[in-house]
Chains A and B, each alone.
Chain A
Amino acid sequence: DTEVTQTPKHLVMGMTNKKSLKCEQHMGHRAMYWYKQKAKKPPELMFVYSYEKLSINESVPSRFSPECPNSSLLNLHLHALQPEDSALYLCASSQDKGWTSGRAKEETQYFGPGTRLLVL
């Protein structure tokens, strides 16, 4: 099973709403990622969790709050978003074997189908 699932598939929310995006994988992966992707642009990394701990936050505004309740689940809590936050939000996971002789981890990341978010 090489599947990463994301819910919901589509989400429309107002600027005062609070909502959450969910991501799940059952591949035993210990690294999970959130990306933001605008139309016809490449994904941009937002957060990385490694062994349920936040390891990278790419200076994301605090209106985005990630959470990793366990090794299979990753959430992204949304509050007081702006219209410019409308995008495709992608979750990904990888094995996270750690460092090898000081080299960066180079592992295949498996992406979910994304949540298409529209902020009105």
Chain B
Amino acid sequence: TQLLEQSPQFLSIQEGENLTVYCNSSSVFSSLQWYRQEPGEGPVLLVTVVTGGEVKKLKRLTFQFGDARKDSSLHITAAQPGDTGLYLCAVTYNQGGKLIFGQGTELSVKP
């Protein structure tokens, strides 16, 4: 079983639509990270959420950490083709700084 369940795994929408990506777990985490990865590039950190109930905004992206710190969501308002990419949630697990990723959400925004 996956430590982080991410959904949906694929999403194809038109420019201007809104979308939400979910990252769920039965475990409690002290923090959670969201990355975006474009084809042929490494993942780039978008945000780290650390407090239960926390909401962070990054332009048209809104990130929320669940009150119980077991889940998180990423909401994109008025998606643009430049938002296309693989979105990954991740947590640090156990010792050694091991980063565990969700399965990823492949987002395609068509003009």
Residues of chain A having any CB pair with chain B under 8 Å:
4, 31, 33, 40-43, 45, 48, 50, 55-56, 90, 92, 94, 96, 99, 103-114, 116
Contacts and interface: CB of A to CB of B under 8 A. Distances in A.
Interface stretch (B36-44, B63-71, B74-82): B36-44
Contact of B43 (A43, A45, A96, A99): A43
Contact of A31 (B40, B41, B43, B97): B97
A109 B35 CA distance: 10
B96 A41 contact: no
B51 interface: no
Given A106-B30, A108-B45, A110-B45, A43 B101 contact: yes
Q: How large is the interface on B (under 10, 10 to 19, 20 to 34, 35 or more residues)?
A: 20 to 34
10 contacts: A40-B104, A99-B95, A104-B92, A104-B93, A104-B95, A104-B96, A105-B92, A109-B45, A113-B42, A114-B41
A4 B90 CA distance: 19
A113 B94 contact: no
Contacts of A105: 92, 95-97
Contacts of A50: 96-97
Nearest to B43: A111
Contacts of A104: 92-98
Given A31-B97, A42-B103, A4 B92 contact: no
Given A40-B86, A104-B92, A94 B41 contact: no
Interface of B: 30-31, 33, 40-45, 48, 86, 88, 90, 92-99, 101-104, 106
Contact of A42 (B31, B44, B93, B104): B104
B42 A114 contact: yes
Contacts of A31: 97
Given A40-B104, A106-B31, A108-B48, A114 B40 contact: yes
